[in-house]
Amino acid sequence: MSELKEKKGHSFLDFAYQMYKSMKTNEINLVYEGEVTQEITKTFTSLTERSLAKTEESNMVQRKVFHVMVECLQNISKHADSLEGEEEKRGIVMVSHGKESYNIITGNVIRNEKIPALKESLEKVNSLEKEDLSALYKKQMREGRISEKGGAGLGLIDIAKKTGSKLDYQFKELNDDVSFFILTSTVKRK
């Protein structure tokens, strides 16, 4: 093996080991990065369901984690944008757990022009208590305008209702056209 190939091989192995250690440290059970389609959603949720079934977690917590993950994956498949030169809508999904909660972390590319409306929706959802979220959900179901992508803002409301936690989010600007949107949904274990 040439010295350059050997260095690249060691470099990748070092990266893989560092990633493994980071996942263990952060208690990340599942990770997927790539195109998010209906088929990928089914596969990933099936893996999560099996992983949760092996734990001694209550059925209620398992259902919440599963439901939130499905909603997050559907949000990526419906609303993610692609980077220039790419056709597919890619995203990343991670599920981690700690002593007190599960975290479902998703990330995807979004056009910068969409950020103000999304941020406004997130802030509105985060400002409401559970009863108010239920009322808003019902109102959106009755009279919400359905977007061209099929949503009426129901996904974020539903995630907040199911988790009982505020939605944590960030936008990391990639260039003048797009940013990377990261959403963390927390399901308490008790």
Select from 97, 91, 41, 79 the least CA-distant residue to 156.
79
Beta bridge partners of 116: none
Distances in whole angstroms, Cα of residue 105 to Cα of each of 19, 53, 70, 158, 170: 16, 20, 12, 16, 11
Q: In what order do the strands lie in the sheet with 168-173?
A: 28-35, 90-97, 101-111, 178-188, 168-173
The vertex-138 CA angle with 161 and 105, nearest 5°, equals: 30
pLDDT of the chain, 190 residues: tens digit per residue: 455 555 565 788 898 899 889 888 888 888 889 998 888 888 888 888 888 888 888 889 988 998 999 999 998 988 889 887 677 788 999 999 888 999 999 999 999 999 999 999 999 999 999 899 988 888 888 876 544 444 447 899 999 999 999 999 999 999 999 999 999 999 998 8
Structure-token pair, residue 160: 């907040």
Q: What local confidence, expressed as pLDDT, does residue 148 receive?
A: 46
Single pTM value for the model: 0.84
To which CATH superfamily is domain 3-188 assigned?
Histidine kinase-like ATPase, C-terminal domain (3.30.565.10)
E strand or H helix that includes residue 79: helix 59-79
Q: What local confidence, expressed as pLDDT, does residue 107 receive?
A: 95
Beta bridge partners of 186: 103
Q: From CA 163, how far away is CA 96, in angstroms rounded?
A: 15
* Residue indicated by tokens 């498949």: 77
Q: What local confidence, expressed as pLDDT, does residue 156 receive?
A: 93
Segments making up each domain of the chain, as ranges: 3-188
The separation between CA 1 and the C-alpha centre of its own chain, rounded to angstroms, equals 41
